[in-house]
A and B are shown apart, each in its own frame.
Chain A
Amino acid sequence: MSPDALVAILGMAAVTFAIRAGGYFVANRLPATGFVAAWMRHIPGAVLAALVAPAVVAGGPAEWLATLATGLAFLLTRNLLAAMAAGVVAVYVARLLLGG
């Protein structure tokens, strides 16, 4: 394990522990409604959208087709593994056909 990797993992662990334990300590003061609560609820989705969008834009037609296939597969099955598999198969086939 490289020192950098160890520092990154311990850093991730430290902030995550501080957040979890912090929730217990500030429970009586934390706003359950209003702006801050709404903000926290919106973070995970926004982060995922921020991860996906540049990756899709950076790809070509094969990746765009596979993105469509992944989305359709998830909406039909509601299953993470099935959606991932559909995306991988779609990109593999599309690259073969399109020569990407």
Chain B
Amino acid sequence: MQFIQQLINGVTIGSFYALVALGYTMVYGVLKMINFAHGDLFMWGAYLGLTGMTLLVGWATQGSAWMIAPVAILVILVVALTGVLVERVAYRPLRSAGRLAPIISALGVAFILESLARNLYGAKWQTYPSGVTPSGGLMLSGGVRIGIMQIAVLIASFVLMGALYLFVQRTRLGMAMRAVSLDANVSRLMGVDVDRIISVVFLIGPGLGGAAGLIVALYYGSFDFTLGWTFGLKAFIAAILGGIGNIPGAMLGGMLLGVVETLASGYISPQWKDVIAYIVLILILLFRPTGLLGERIAEKV
């Protein structure tokens, strides 16, 4: 059935959006700011993965699946550290500078990251070395096909999301993160090192984003520098859909957006793939701006 097929594809894409959305939502949770540069960090995951893969394949003269692990570790580490660096340099000094300044700074960082990528790698389409990712698949009943890659990325995505969820809910550090999201000042008074927590958030969020970049690049096999922009905006919308600042919300939002987008593309028209995200965004903001799982905040007079 075509519907099931679309559903599987939708969930796959949705998990990508979810991984990236988590980065947006976590940062907004603790800093109440939108990290416009997040999409570009995700994009750098794809580019760094490309470099890593190309090097490894060059050294081993042939692509193979085991290469993914070391490259993944490298990518996640570098992007995560970049995230921390960005926070330190571009956002921390602006904590008390009102709401406009962090937005501009974040956009500035986004431009820098984009320009770096465009100049270092070129504006053309990049392709990952072949042979790294398996291309086989399973045929399920009704003509529905699920690729091995799909299974692999779905597992990877869910493992990462599950790990994050456990981390946030079950560890002391995770609890501190939730506390800072609720009220940074009170947390500080309670002895939480807010700066450290924020750094951790910028480690995990971009780290997940970088991982997603690698996964997406492996899945599609090729990409160009507009990846950060298009994916980033949609993941961002997914985060809002679920309720910005809300971690399970980001996961739900990502999944939902991926499914809706794929279904619309399949049943209505491929052109709608791009527009549907914006329509979802406008609807959500009009009728339920705090998102599906978000909380209502009334302004105290």
Do A and B come from the same complex? no
Q: Give chain A's interface residues, CB within 8 Å of chain B.
A: none
Residues in chain B within 8 A of chain A (CB atoms): none
